[in-house]
Amino acid sequence: MSILHSMNNDYTKSPRLYVSNDLADKGIVPLSKEHAHYLLSVLRKTDGDLVRVFNGRHGEYVAQLCPLTKKSGELRDLKQIRPQPDSGHQIHLYFAPIKKDRLSFLIEKAVELGVTDLHPVITAHTENRKPNIEKIHSYITEAAEQCERLDIPVLHPIIPVLNCNFFAPTYAALERGDHAFFQPNASSMGICIGPEGGWSEEEGVFLKGNPSVHPVSLGERILRAETAALFMLSRIAG
């Protein structure tokens, strides 16, 4: 059956995958071994079922599975269902990697809240100094697939915070300082969150003296790193 007839189904309930291939109407996309296994063994999909795909460049497409095995498969008869939007505002998140479970939560929610660029930074008090970059990539991709984004946030190389060239303007959360409360007032911006142990004195001086950085307060309470990031992102998204 042609996908044009299958479109009577509610394709919004179909699984959604990120692929690197070019996408075009009537095209064919080969599935990776991982995607084939996921669709067949985890989701129990079969030939003829609908799957949505996006690549961050060409919008979103719906296609039919055929054929599908545990190790391979194809998506055929692609049809665009959403065009790729023009690139909008940028939101850069500078963060010190935290413990594994909390890091996956932070990445997932940051992607849902619209972050476009993720910058892991090493600070004097960073506990997770060698995060699994491949895992972070998978957190980003899975979150984008689930939250209906059409783009994949960029993960930048991990560097010391003292070597950062910050996106301007960037708002850095500094506790226990006489700083104005965070009030986002730009369409594109960066936010900078400290590690679990807070900024060192040297890092605080660096951030306060950087012309691209605006030190801000997040209120009277001391927030955990992931809470601080999501608090700031929610104010931008809202």
- Report how far residue 30's alpha carbon sits from residue 126's, in angstroms, rounded to the nearest whole number: 41
Q: Please check whether residue 54 is in contact with residue 150, taking contact to mean a CB–CB distance below 8 angstroms.
A: yes
> Which tens digit of pLDDT belongs to each residue from 108-147?
999 999 999 999 999 999 988 899 999 999 999 999 999 9
Cβ–Cβ under 8 Å, residues 17 and 51: yes
Environment class of residue 97 by beta-carbon count within 10 Å: exposed (0-12), middle (13-18) or buried (19+)? buried
Distance in angstroms (rounded) separating the CA atoms of residues 124 and 137:
24
Residue 96, φ and ψ in degrees, nearest 5: -85, 125
Q: Using one digit for the tens of pLDDT, what is the confidence trace for 60-79?
A: 999 999 888 878 888 999 99
- Give the three-state DSSP class for 198: coil
DSSP label of 83: P
Q: Spell 201-225 as b/e; 16+ CB within 10 A means b.
A: eebbebbeebeebbbbebeeeebeb
Whether 190 shows a pLDDT value over 90: the answer reads yes
Question: pTM for the complete prediction?
Answer: 0.88
Residues forming a β-bridge with 93: 118, 191
**Dihedral-angle region of residue 56 (phi above 0 means left; psi in -120 to 50 means alpha; beta otherwise):** left
DSSP letter (8 states) at residue 60:
E
Per residue in 139-159, pLDDT (tens digit) is: 999 999 999 999 999 999 999
Identify the pLDDT of residue 125: 92
The percentage of the chain sitting over the pLDDT mark of 90, rounded to a whole number, equals: 68
Q: What is the rounded distance in angstroms from the CA atom of residue 236 to the CA atom of residue 209? A: 24
What pLDDT shows up at residue 238?
61
Which has the higher per-residue pLDDT, 177 or 218? 218
* Band of pLDDT at residue 85, cut at 50, 70 and 90: confident
Q: Which tens digit of pLDDT belongs to each residue from 192-203?
A: 999 988 899 999
What domains can you pick out in the chain, each with its CATH number? Answer: 3-82 (2.40.240.20), 91-237 (3.40.1280.10)
Whether residue 177 has pLDDT greater than 90? no
Quote the Cα angle for 92-135-156, to 5°.
Answer: 30
Residue 7 has pLDDT above 80, yes or no: no
pLDDT at res. 205: 95
Chain centre distance of CA 6: 31
Q: Which two tokens stand for residue 49?
A: 């079922």
